[in-house]
């Protein structure tokens, strides 16, 4: 099985490294392209994989094509490869935000086998949570193959496409939202006298330990909040302050804004 990557930036590079590290794929099974042949060669040499001088040639040689270009570049790429995809059994994986299956099929034909995948940046350490949504012409075996591929890179969830935007908001965007939370705690500690590096190291340990505890003990958020909020104590003062300042409504707004933007991009 040959896997072709159109676009080899942050995401595709992390996927390629993860697939090779997990031995799901050998370097000989991977081909990539970037915006120019020179850049493709340089990146391929660095990763120890093959490159194609153009996207059409790459598609001809691949069984699975992973589209790793930015959403703005996707229409041009889809137009470029459409004739190679039509009437073929090739599987096209899109990781682009704002492009639903119908929109991709409008370029590649209604019969094209499209799987939309939303990984997150944690894929770089094979800890992604990836949402998968398939067009309705996939066989069980084909679905299994794509699922197994992304399981090498973390956890996967198959979703109805209507739920994809919500998944994107809480999983695709989660690294950024979480980093903002960590940054807020870190800089609040700096304001109170701790050096930045020390404050960030402490915050990271506290946050990752909390996540482990919640998973290990299968605690809900409110189970944990109740456990650490002693009556009349310090934690409940902070919790009440966050409530007063609209911490939870801000997260609702952020998720809603992300969903709205994704829906707008799908309509363009």
Ligand X SMILES: NC(=O)c1ccc[n+]([C@@H]2O[C@H](COP(=O)([O-])OP(=O)(O)OC[C@H]3O[C@@H](n4cnc5c(N)ncnc54)[C@H](OP(=O)(O)O)[C@@H]3O)[C@@H](O)[C@H]2O)c1
Backbone angles phi, psi at 50, to 5 degrees: -90, 165
3-state secondary structure of 240: helix
Q: For ligand X, which residue of 70, 86, 89, 217 counts as binding (CB under 6 A)?
A: 70
Strand partners for 30: 3
Q: Which residue pairs, CB below 8 angstroms and at least 24 apart, start in 250-256? A: 251/177, 254/169, 254/173, 254/177, 255/166, 255/169, 255/170
How far apart, in whole angstroms, are the C-alpha atoms of residue 171 and residue 129? 7
Contact between 149 and ligand X per CB under 6 A: no
Supply the minimum distance, in Å, between the C-beta of residue 146 and ligand X: 16
CB-nearer residue toward ligand X: 9 or 109 = 9
How far apart, in whole angstroms, are the C-alpha atoms of residue 73 and residue 62? 20
Q: For ligand X, which residue of 55, 88, 105, 156 counts as binding (CB under 6 A)?
A: 55
Contact between 44 and ligand X per CB under 6 A: no
Contact between 69 and ligand X per CB under 6 A: yes
Judged by CB under 6 A, the chain residues 170 through 229 that form the site for ligand X are 172
Number of residues binding to ligand X, judged by CB under 6 A: 26
CB-nearer residue toward ligand X: 153 or 199 = 153
User: 227-236 burial, b if ≥16 CB within 10 A, otherwise e?
Assistant: eebeeeeeee
- Interface mask toward ligand X for 249-268; x: CB under 6 A: --------------------
Strand partners for 104: none
Q: Known binder of ligand: residue 193? A: no
206, two tokens = 């506290």
Q: For ligand X, which residue of 2, 17, 24, 39 counts as binding (CB under 6 A)?
A: 39
Interface residues with ligand X (CB under 6 A)? 6-12, 33-35, 39, 55, 68-71, 73, 77, 95-97, 118-121, 172
Known binding-site positions: 6-11, 55
């Amino acid at each position: 099985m040959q896997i072709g990557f159109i676009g080899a930036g942050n995401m595709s590079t992390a996927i390629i490294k993860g697939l090779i590290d997990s031995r799901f794929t050998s370097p000989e099974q991977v081909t990539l392209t970037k915006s120019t042949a020179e850049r493709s060669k340089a990146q391929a040499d660095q990763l120890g994989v093959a490159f194609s001088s153009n996207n059409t040639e790459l598609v001809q040689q691949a069984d699975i094509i992973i589209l790793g270009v930015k959403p703005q570049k996707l229409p041009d790429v889809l137009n470029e490869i459409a004739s190679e995809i039509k009437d073929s059994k090739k599987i096209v994986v899109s990781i682009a935000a704002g492009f639903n299956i119908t929109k991709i099929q409008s370029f590649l034909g209604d019969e094209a086998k499209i799987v939309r995948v939303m990984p997150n940046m944690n894929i770089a350490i094979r800890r992604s949570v990836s949402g998968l949504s398939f067009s309705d012409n996939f066989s069980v075996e084909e679905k299994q193959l794509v699922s197994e591929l992304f399981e090498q890179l973390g956890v996967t969830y198959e979703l109805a496409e209507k739920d994809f935007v919500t998944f994107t908001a809480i999983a695709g965007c989660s690294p950024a939202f979480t980093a903002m939370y960590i940054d807020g705690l870190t800089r609040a500690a700096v304001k109170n006298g701790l050096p930045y590096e020390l404050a960030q190291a402490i915050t990271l340990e506290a946050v990752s330990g909390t996540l482990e505890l919640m998973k290990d003990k299968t605690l809900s958020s409110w189970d944990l909040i109740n456990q650490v909020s002693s009556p009349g104590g310090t934690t409940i003062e902070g919790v009440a302050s966050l409530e007063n300042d609209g911490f939870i409504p801000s997260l609702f707004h952020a998720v809603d804004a992300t969903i709205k933007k994704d829906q707008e991009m799908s309509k363009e």
